Structure 1
Amino acid sequence: PVCPKWRDIRKVSAIQLFTNQRLDATQGLREEKVDELVEFLKGCCEKGLAVDIGKAVFTTTLNLLSNTFFSIDLSTYDSSSSQEFRDLAWNIMEEIGRPNISDFFPLIKALDLQGVRRSLTTSFSKMLQVFDKIIDERLRDQINSKDDVLATLLSLVKQNELTLDDVRHMLIDLFVAGTDTTSNTIEWALTELLRHPEKITKAQAEMEQHLGKGQSRSIQESDVLKLPYIQAIVKETMRLHPAAPFLVPHKATTNIELRGYCVPKNAQIWINVWSIGRDPSVWPQSESFTPERFLESEIDIKGRDFELMPFGTGRRICPGMPLAYRMLHIILATLLHSFNWKLDHGLNPEDVDMEEKFGLTLAKVQPLQAIPLPR
């Protein structure tokens, strides 16, 4: 339920962190990090090496967020640090999303029979150690203060609008939600495209028409408005493979009846967006990857249309949606504009493993391994 603390944190997110003004100001930073991804992929391209797409994009989004928040990189493409952070993020998402007997029998919640609370405490503690070190260094180095998100958050602490504990846990929420979900969505998008290579050709033709061929110039966020097919691919990917199969749970504040069913007070309510996205009564050929369905449709992913709401809707819509929207489009467009792609080990498109790894987020069980080729 809504409380004053929730309102304060949402207000900070909406007014201080994800305004169009701040996002426009950091556009160059995002494009710089995407350019670094391209340079890494060029090296793989020259050597004929396959790329773990999810891991590479995770490193990009991790550094993009860490530079936006802290003005530093947290990882490199050839280090294990991004994988360690990703494992922490995934463990958190998996444990939160795992069916927990305590949700059905609250009286035994304190016993933690499945060890969910213990596992989450360990993962949160490890992640907080990373953020606490950065915060402590910033607090000691007041002279060389930077104009980034952390500086904004610490100024709010000084004004007693937030506590340091609020900042620490906001960082966990933003980094866990902002890195894993973006990399999963890009991985699913490229997987679907490699299974339907004619759609890669169509997307590349659209970009060549507006931007020129190959690496003639970098993709900019302003270019996305001229690329309706890229936007359609993102929508179709999030319809079939929403970053989170369930939205953030709600709670009934009173006993209510819904279509003949009694929903008792304090019951958790989960919205299954994965199921909504595959509902054949809403989506013709619902299991088919067909971005073209959105070219003549006004349905969007920004919470206005209940048929497609991967970020949620209403007061509890994902506060990081404006940033995620920009990141998804520029990364996907860059991957397709800069390279051709083929599956590793000569795998046939129809043989690509599409099994989903269930948690609070929806990842692939088998990571996508693809080889970038020159255009």
Structure 2
Amino acid sequence: MPVPRMLAQDVEKASETNETFENKIQELPSIKLDPSLEGATSLAFIGSCSEAESKKGVGDRKFVCGHGNGAITIFKCDAATRQNPVQTLKLGSSSGLPIMKVLPHPTNPDLIFSASVDGNIYQSSITKHNTSIFHKEEGNEPMSLCFCDDVTVLISAGRDTHVRMYDPVTNQITRAYHGSKTDRTSSSNSSTCRPSKKVFALKESPSHPHCFYSAGWDNSIKMWDCRTSEGVISSMSHKNSPHVCGDALDVKVCGGIGLETILTASWTSKRALQLWEPNSDKLLRSVRFPSRKDDGEYLYSSRFVNDSVVVAGGSGSKDAVFINFHTSEPLLAVGSGSNPITAIDNDVTTGLTLIGGTNYDVIHLTKTETAF
């Protein structure tokens, strides 16, 4: 396994220093959406900015939004223009299907890839103002995308359980890992068993360029190495979790010793928000998510905000909640409480967080400032 082995308690010890952080979270004016767009099903900030630029506020920060009616739009975060899209990359329709993932190219800010329930992976050019079909996955509903191997590989996964690898320049499939035909629990080698059920989330490893993670309905997190013929190199699960049903997988290098930590949000009534330590393949802790007993937690999306805060939301309370993951203290709840939260993205440099949902008529925008 390419990841150095270290004990989970080492991560716990290193992360204790982060409890002294003071997090100030401010809710900014929301961004209105045309009701015909059918809310936000996926969100992502475009490009990056320097620390100097981030101190100027939201500035010219842009983000891309995938909608329930199949549209793809770009908004700016600044107050003067945030009420209307600055660009529509793909029109939607009343019969259009949701865009489940939008993925800006990390080194080419002109390109955006997206995954749609209609079976297509789309490629959009901001400067050319157009969107074309990158690849049609026959018989599949691609739910997620990520890059791997220093952005030379684009990865997709979805309903058919297969994980496909593309050359993002030629649009050609370079490798396809077929899903397992058996449940994880009945596999002779469950630690390297490929997905047996629908995959909802993919995330690249921030520390190991050839590696990425997946999660979905088979109640496990799988770590992959794109150089290997088998693909899966390890698997994590605990008491039938995580049961991921959306863009609810995030990875961050946390703690003083700089080890990867995985965040998952499950569509379960309790213990839905969890932290995992891939170096020992173990659950670190469940983070308490505030909800009424009748509602349950039932989370669809989650993100790390910084080294002490996560944000998650779903169809239980129908709010997104910022939580100190060391103490499980809720810091701020954002949302109308009337529709599920289905999309969240966070920009570490600026502290900005985007929050949207199915049939929402707004995108919520917050800013987190951290001080010692």
**TM-score, normalised with respect to structure 2:** 0.30
**TM-score, normalised with respect to structure 1:** 0.30
Greater relative CO, 1 or 2 (CA 8 Å, sep 6+): 1
Structure (1 or 2) with the greater strand fraction = 2
Computing the radius of gyration from Cα coordinates, the structure with the larger value is: 1
